Structure 1
Amino acid sequence: MNTEELHHLIKEMTLEEKIGQMTQLAGYLYEESSSDVTGPLSGVNAPEFLDSTNGSIVGSYGAATIREIQSNYLEKSRLKIPLLFTADVIHGYRTIFPLPFAIGNSWNVDLAEKSAEVAAKESAVSGIHLTFSPMVDLTRDPRWGRVVESTGEDPYLNAEFSRAFVKGYQGDELGTDPMRIAACVKHFVAYGLSQGGREYNTVDVSERELLENHVSGFEAAIEAGVEMVMTSFNPVNGIPSTGNKKLIKGLLREKLGFDGVVISDWNSLGELITHGVAEDEIEAAQKALDATVDIEMMTFCYAAGFQQLLDENKISMDSIDASVMRILKLKNKLGLFEDPYRGLSEEKEKEVVFSDEHRQIAREVAEESIVLLKNEQNVLPLSTDKKVALIGPFGTDSNVLGTWYWRGEESEAVQLLDSLEERLDKDSLVYAKGSDITEGNKDWLEEAKAVAESADIVILALGEHAKMSGEAASRSNIQLPEAQLELVKKVKEAGKPMVAVLFNGRPLDLTGVVDEVDAIVETWFLGTESGHAISNVLYGDVNPSGKLTMSFPYNVGQIPVHYNHFKTGRPVEDGSEFKWLSRYLDVPNEPRYSFGYGLSYTTFEYGDMKLSSDTFSKEEGLTVEVTVRNTGQVAGKEIVQFYVQDLVGEVIRPVKELKGFEKIDLAPGESKDVRFTLTEDMVRYVHSNLEKKSDPGRFKVFIGSSSDEVQEKEVRLVN
C-alpha cells in the first residue's frame, strides 16, 4: 500500500478498530482455543471487539500455530488488517547464543550482528515479525538482574552493539527480505539506574546525565533504522516513562527524531495508576496518548478511555490516527498487507531452525565471549595427558542457556561434562557434584575432596542459577552461594591446581574464590554450544579473547563502580596514605577487575604511541597510532582500546571515555599498526545548559589493553 491508501484505510476504520490496532495481546489467549478467540479473551476482561480488531500479539510461535491464528483472525476482521506477531527473541530463537551481556564481552560487533541475523532467520520462518530486542539500557549496578540483557557500563560501546543488533535483525531492506524481522529497542529510558539495583524501582537522574550517557544506545538504534521503541517501567523526573510526554514525545520523537512505533512494556499503562500519576484507566489512556505511545501491551486503558476522552475534548482523533498510521506503516513495510503469512514456512522451519550452520555460529560467538580473569603459573590451557576432576553443580546443570532463551531446549544444550567426555578418555576424567547451586552436605564435600585428590588438576564449575539473573532477579549479595564457597574451601584441601569456570549473568563479588583458585574462566551463560566453547578454551583450541564490558567489584559496598567515573576534588594519589581523600578504608577505590580487562594465552607488546599532531580542530583531526606485537608462542586476538579525557570542562568530565577499539588477530611474532582518529565531534559533551558541544583546551589520549593498562599523551583542541 502507498501512504494515500493507508490514509484511506484509516478513514474507513471505526474507533474500536483503531483501538484494536493500538492494543497488543498475549498469544496464549489465542492458543487456548485456536478456532475461536472469543472465549480466551473474555477470561482477561478484554473488550469483545478486540476479537476481530486486535492489532498485534506477543508470545506466539511456530509456523503452523501462527498461520492458524492469522487465518482465524482474518476471517473475523472486517478490514482484513493482518496481525503483527512479536516475541522476546533476546539471544536466539531456538539456536541460543550467549546472553547479550556475554556477547558484549566479545567486543566483536560483527559477530553480534551475525547472531541477530541468525535469530531473525529462525524467527521469520516460524512466523515472528518483530523482536523486543536489543535492550540498550546503560547499567553500572550488577545487583540489577537485567544486566544480562545489556552490554555494559560504557555508552559508546553500548551504541556500537545497539547498531549491530538492529542491523542484524532488520538487514538493509526489511521490506524486501522475508528472512529479516523488525527490531524494538528498549527500554526508553534510564531503566538501568533502578535504585539499589532493584527491579522496577524508582530512578532519579538529572537531565544532563540522561542526555550524556543514557540515550546513546537509542540514538544508534534510530540511526540504524529501528522500527519500534519500548517504554521503560521507571519514572524520569517523577513521571513514569509510559505517561511522560516530555520524555517520549519531546526527547524521543522531537529531539532524537524517532518516527516509528512506540509500545508500552507489559501492563505499564495500568501501572500509571499504581504509581499514583493516573486516577484510573481513562486518565492513564490520556497520559499515554499525549506521550505518543502507540501500542499498549496487555492492558485495555485505550479501550476504556478513548470515547470518553474524545467526548470531553481531552484528546483528538488526529492523535489516535497518527498512532494508527505509524502501526499500519510498520505492517506495510513488512509486507503483511500483501502476504499476512510473510516468511513463515513449516518446511523451511524444519530446515533453518537449529541448523548445524547456526550452531556453529553460536559456538564461535560463545568462544569469543569468554573472558580469562586469572591464570597463575599458566595453569591454562590444559593438557590431555593430565587427569582432570570436574567438580561443581555446573558440570551437569541443565540450564546453561541463561534467561530469556525463548524456544531453546535445555536438553539440546551441550553441558561441560558432555564436552569433556568427548575430548578425554574415561581414565582421564572424574566427576563429582560437590554441591547443588545453593545447597550442600558433608557427604558431597568429602566425595569432592576425594575426587580432587585422585586427579592432577581440578575444574570447579560454579555460578548462579539462571533464575538468579534476568528480569525480576535482583540480588543484594552478588557472591556465589555459600554452599559453593564451602565447596571451594574443601576442594582446596586436596592441594591440586584449581580452575574456576564461572556460569553467571552479571559481574560477581568473587570473595572466597579469587584467592583460592589458580585460574578463573568467566563464561557467563553461553547458550546452546556452551560446553563445546568452554572446552575449546580450556584446552587451548581457542585462545580466550573476551574482555570485560562491566567492572567486577571487590564487594557490593563499592557499587556503582565503573572506569568512567568523574574526577573528584580529593583524588587518591598513588601510594598516598593521607586520610582526607576520596577513598575507602577497607578496599581499593578501583574495581577488582576493570572495564576492558581480559587475559590471553599469549602476550602482546605495545609500542610507543605516536601522534600525527599534538593539536586538533573542527576542521582537522589527529591520528593516534600504536604497533602491537604478539610476543608469545600462540596466535591470539587482542582488543586495542582508545580512550580520551577532557582535562578542563564546563562541568566535571570522566577520568576516561572509550572512543574507539579494534579487535586484531595476530600470529606469534606478528605485529600490526592500529590507528584511531580523534575528531572534534568525539569530544563534545552535554553542558549545563543541555547544549552538546566541545570546549577548546587540553585533552589526554590513551591507548592500551584495558581501561587501566594504557599509555597516554596530552593534546589540545584549538579553535
Structure 2
Amino acid sequence: MKRAAALLIAPLLAQVPSGMLAARPALPPQPAIAADTGPVLTVAGARFRDLNRNGRLDPYEDWRLPVARRVADLVARMTLAEKAGAMMHGSLAARDNVVGASTLGYDVAAAQAAIDGQHITSFITRLAVTPERMAEENNALQRLAAKTRLGIPLTISTDPRHHFQVTVGASAAASGYSQWPETLGFAALADAGLMHRFADQARREYRASGIHMALSPQADLFTDPRWPRGTGTFGANADLAAKMVQAYVSGFQGSATTLAHDGVATVVKHWVGYGANPQGFDGHNYYGRMAVHDDATLKTHIRPFLGAFAAGVAGVMPTYDIVSGPSVAGKPLEPVAAGYNAQLLGLLRKDYGYKGLILSDWGITRDCTPACRAPTAPQTPNEIAMPWGVEDLTPAQRYAKATNAGIDQFGGVTEPEWIIKDVQAGTIPLARVNAAVAQVMTLKFELGLFDNPLVDPAAARNIAPPAVMAQGRQAQAQAQVLLRNEGGLLPLAAGTRVFLKGIDPAQAKAHGLVVVDRAADAQVALMRADTPSERLHPNYFFGSRQKEGRLDFRPGNADYDAVAAIPASVPVVLAVFLDRPAILTDILPKTRAVLGNFGVSDEGLLDVVTGRETARGRLPFELPRSMAAVEAQNPAVGDDTVDPLFPFGFSLGAGPQ
C-alpha cells in the first residue's frame, strides 16, 4: 500500500513547479487552529487538525511540511469521486432562489447535498448581505465540510462586490463592503498605487468575511464601444490595463509576486480576446459567441494579462468566445470556445509559462437547447448554457475535451459524474485529473484553509469603517472626468439654487445648495444620466440584463428629453455614467458642464460639483462622435473611431500625466 501511494505521489510532485518544492523554514510559526471543526492533535507541543479523524497526524494535516508535500499526500488519499468533485466550482443557491443572489442566506440543505453527496469543495457566493452575515453563512458551510471523510475545506469565491453596477453573473452588490468606482474609474486615474490600496483593502474585507477567491480582474480590453462588459475592465489601452491589472492582483493576493497566506486568490479573465465581438454583443449569449481577431489584435489583447502573470496570479479564466481569425504556431485556431481550445490554453501554459489554476467560465459544459439558442420566452436559469463550438458533443465528450485541453476546474456546474465516467472510459487520463486536483488543493493549502477555515463574524462587523468608506468616496469623486465647463460654471457656490434629477436633495442641501422644485426657479439644473442603450434581446437571460446597441443621446432617450425640457435660461450640469462610451454630440450643446463618472455616489458627485474635491480622471477610452463611426470601427481595436468627440486621455480638470 505504501509503495502504491509513493508511486502516485512521485508523478504529482513532478507536476508541481520546482519553486514550490523548496522547504519552508525549519520551524514555521504555529497557525491558528480551528477549535470547533473537529478533533485537534497535539504533537511535540504543536497543534494540528485531525482532518480525517483517524487519531494520527498525516502529512496533509501537518502545517510544518511544504505545500507540495501536503498536496501530494492528500491527492493520494482521495477517491476518484472526491477528485471529480474537486474539479467542480459550484454556485451556492439561496433560500429563495437557485442563482444565489439573495439577502436571506444560503440554502443549507442544497449545499450539504453538494458537499457530502458530490464532494464539491469550491463555490461562488452571490449573497447580498453584510460582511458579518457573510462570515456566519460561510462558517456554517465550512463546518459541514469539516465533517466529510477527509475534512477538505471549501474555497468561497465571488464576483466583484465593491463597485456600483450589479449584474447577476458579472458583479454583486456592495452591501456593507467598502464602495469604490468601477475599475474603469481606477483606469481614469491611472494610479497604480491607489489601485493597489483598494485591492489590499478589499482583500482584508473578503478574508474577514470568509471569501478566498476573487473572480477578477477583467484584463479584457474594451475595444468595441457597444460591449456591455466593459465596465469591469481598465479601458481600451493595453499598456494602461496591464499596469492596473498587476496592481490589482498584487493587492488582492497580498504579495508582489505570489499568493500570500492571508491573500485572496485572484482569477484573471477572460483568456483571451473577449469583447471583440461584432456589434459588441456578449459571449454569454448564443448570438454573441464569436470574437473576430487577427494575429496582431490578439497579441494586443494578451498584453494586459502580462501584468497578472508578473504578479503571480493564482488563476486564469478562459473566455466563452470562439476566437476567429488568428493562428497559433502557424495553425488557425480551432473554432471552439477558449475553454475547449488546446491551442489557446497551450499558448497560456507554454508560451507564457503560466503554472496556476485554469478555471472555466460558468456553464460551458451544459446543453444549449433551442430555448438557449433562440428563446421565444424569457430564459430561466436552467436554460443558460455556453458550450460554444461544441454544442453537438455529449456532456462526457465536452468534459473530456475541456479537461484534456487544460481546464482544471469547471465553473457553475456540479456534475462530477461525467469526470468519473470519462476516467473509467479512458477518455481522461487519471494523471490529468490528479494534476487538476493538485492545482485546486494547492490554493487551499497556500491560503491556510486546511488549518483554519473559519473567520470571526464579530471581526467582520467593522471591516469598512468610516475612514475607509471616505477613501472609497474620494476615489469615486476624483475618478470623474471633467468634459465641459463653459464659462467656469463649476464649482457651484454655496447658496446656488439647483433643480435636481436623479440626485438626493438631502445631499445637495448638505453641500450648501438650495433645492427648488421647478427648473424655471433654478440657477442651475444638476442632472444625472446613463449612457444610452437598447434592450435588443429581451428573452435572453443575460441579454435582457445587459446594455446593448446605440450609445447616442437623441430625442426619445429619457435623459436627453429631460435635459431638452430645461429652460434655455437655466444652465445644465450633466453627470453621465460612462459604463460604455457615450456619444454626447447632440446633448453637449444643451449643457454648460459635463462630468463623466464610473460609479459615484451623490456625495462624491456633489463633492466635485461644489469644489470640495477635484475631478482628476482622464477618459480611459475615447468618446465617439457618431454611431456611424462606431459601426465602422474594428471591434478588436480600441480607440479607432474616426474623429472622436473626445479622445482617449481627455480631461479639462486633470493635471499633467
After TM superposition, the score normalised by the length of structure 2 is: 0.74
496, 503, 506: which one aligns with 2:580 = 506
| Matched residue, 2:474 | 364
- Following superposition, the deviation at residue 466 of structure 1 comes to 11
CA apart distance, 1:41: 7.2
- Alignment of structure 1 residues 284-683 onto 2, 5 Å: 284-300=398-414, 303-341=416-454, 344-352=455-463, 354-390=464-500, 392=501, 394-396=502-504, 417-424=505-512, 428-431=514-517, 451-464=518-531, 472-480=545-553, 482-493=557-568, 495-526=569-600, 530-559=601-630, 589-600=642-653, 637-640=654-657
1:274 is displaced (CA, Å) by 5.7
Give CA-to-partner distance per residue, 1:641-673, whole Å, 9 cap, x none. Answer: xxxxxxxxxxxxxxxxxxxxxxxxxxxxxxxxx
Equivalent residue number for residue 51 of structure 1: 117
| Equivalent-residue separation in structure 2 for 1:34 and 1:463 (angstroms) | 32
- The answer to whether the 8 A contact 1:90-1:149 is kept is no
The within-5 A match list for 1:201-350 is 201-206=288-293, 208-237=295-324, 238-248=335-345, 250-270=346-366, 271=385, 273=387, 275-300=389-414, 303-341=416-454, 344-350=455-461
Report if the CA contact (8 A) 2:272-2:319 is conserved. yes
In structure 2, the residue corresponding to 1:499 is in which secondary structure? strand
Change (3 A) 1:514 1:240: same
Alpha-carbon offset, residue 202 of structure 1: 3.1
State the secondary structure of the residue aligned to 1:500.
strand
Seen in structure 2, the aligned counterparts of structure 1 residues 50 and 264 have a Cα distance that, compared at 3 Å, is farther
Q: Please state which structure has a larger fraction of its residues in strand.
A: 1
Q: Structure 1 residue 69: deviation in Å?
A: 0.6
51-60 or 122-131, larger mean C-alpha shift: 51-60
Question: Structure 2 vs 1, CA of residues 31 and 251 (structure 1 numbering), >3 Å: closer, same or farther?
Answer: farther
Higher alpha-carbon deviation: 550-559 or 282-291: 550-559
Are the aligned partners of 1:143 and 1:477 in contact in 2 as well (CA < 8 Å)? Answer: yes
**Quick one: structure 1 residues 566 and 387, their matched pair in 2 at CA, closer, same or farther if it must change by over 3 Å?**
closer
CA distance 1:190–1:639, change in 2 (3 Å): farther
Structure 1 residues 103 and 492: alpha-carbon distance in aligned structure 2, compared to 1, 3 A threshold: farther
SS in 1 for 2:516: strand
Structure 1: runs of 5+ lacking an equivalent: 43-47, 397-416, 432-450, 569-587, 601-636, 641-719
Which residue does 1:706 correspond to in 2?
A: none
- 2: distance between equivalents of 1:467 and 1:361? 34
- Counterpart-to-counterpart distance in 1, 2:639 and 2:117: 58
Contact 2:195–2:244 under 8 Å retained in 1 = yes
Structure 2 residue identity aligned to 1:57 = F
Conservation of the 8 A alpha-carbon contact between 1:465 and 1:504:
no
| Equivalent AA in structure 2 for residue 59 of structure 1 | T
- What whole-Å deviation, never above 9, does each CA across 1:364-423 have from its counterpart, x for those lacking one? 211221000011111112111432222x2x224xxxxxxxxxxxxxxxxxxxx3321102
**SS of the residue 1:264 aligns to:** strand
How far does residue 5 in structure 1 lie from its aligned partner after superposition?
2.9
Shift of 1:455: 2.0
Quick one: percent identity of the two aligned structures?
24
Residue 351 of structure 1: CA displacement? 2.0
Gap change, CA 1:172 and 1:488, over 3 Å in 2: same
Cross-structure match for 2:280: 197
Determine helix, strand or coil for the equivalent of 2:580: coil
Tell whether the 8 Å contact from 2:400 to 2:428 is kept in structure 1 after alignment: yes
Shift of the alpha carbon at 1:561?
5.2
- Does the C-alpha gap of structure 1 residues 386 and 317 become closer, same or farther in structure 2, counting only changes over 3 Å? same
Alignment deviations for residues 595-650 of structure 1 (CA, whole Å, 9 cap, x no partner):
010112xxxxxxxxxxxxxxxxxxxxxxxxxxxxxxxxxxxx5242xxxxxxxxxx
Give the secondary-structure state (helix, strand or coil) at the position aligned to 2:550.
coil
Cα 1:548/1:277, change in 2 over 3 Å: same
1:345 and 1:121 map into 2 onto residues whose CA distance is 13
Q: Give the TM-score normalised by the residue count of structure 1.
A: 0.68
Aligned residue pairs, count? 526
2:204 paired residue number: 121
- Structure 1 residue 298: deviation in Å? 2.2
**Which residue of 2 is the match for residue 164 of structure 1?**
247
* Structure 1 residue matching 2:527: 3-state secondary structure: strand
1:170 deviation in Å? 1.0
CA contact (8 A) 2:91 2:124 kept: yes
Matching residue's letter, 1:158: A
Alignment RMSD, CA only? 3.0
Deviation at 1:291, TM superposition (A): 1.6
Deviation at 1:50, TM superposition (A): 5.6
SS at match of 2:295: helix
Change (3 A) 1:639 1:101: same
- Structure 1 residue 308 displacement after superposition: 3.4
Deviation of 1:462 after TM superposition, in Å, equals 2.1
Cα shift at 1:52: 5.6
Query: Does the aligned pair in 1 maintain the 2:531–2:577 contact within 8 Å?
Result: yes
User: Residues 145 and 152 of structure 2 are in contact (CA less than 8 Å); yes or no, is this contact kept in structure 1?
Assistant: no
Are the equivalent residues in 1 in contact too, given 2:476–2:598 (CA < 8 A)?
Answer: no
Q: 1:499 is matched by which residue type in structure 2?
A: V
Deviation (angstroms), 1:209: 2.5
Partner Cα distance (2:266, 2:450) in 1 = 19
* Counterpart-to-counterpart distance in 1, 2:298 and 2:531: 34
Structure 2: 5+ residue runs without aligned partners? 1-64, 98-103, 128-133, 164-173, 325-334, 367-384, 537-541
**In the alignment, structure 1 residue 21 sits paired with structure 2 residue 96:** no
State the AA in 1 paired with 2:651.
G
- Alpha-carbon distance in 1 for matches of 2:120, 2:407: 16
**RCO (CA 8 Å, sep 6+): is it higher in 1 or 2?**
2
Q: Which amino acid aligns with 1:295?
A: Q
Q: Offset at 1:74? A: 1.7
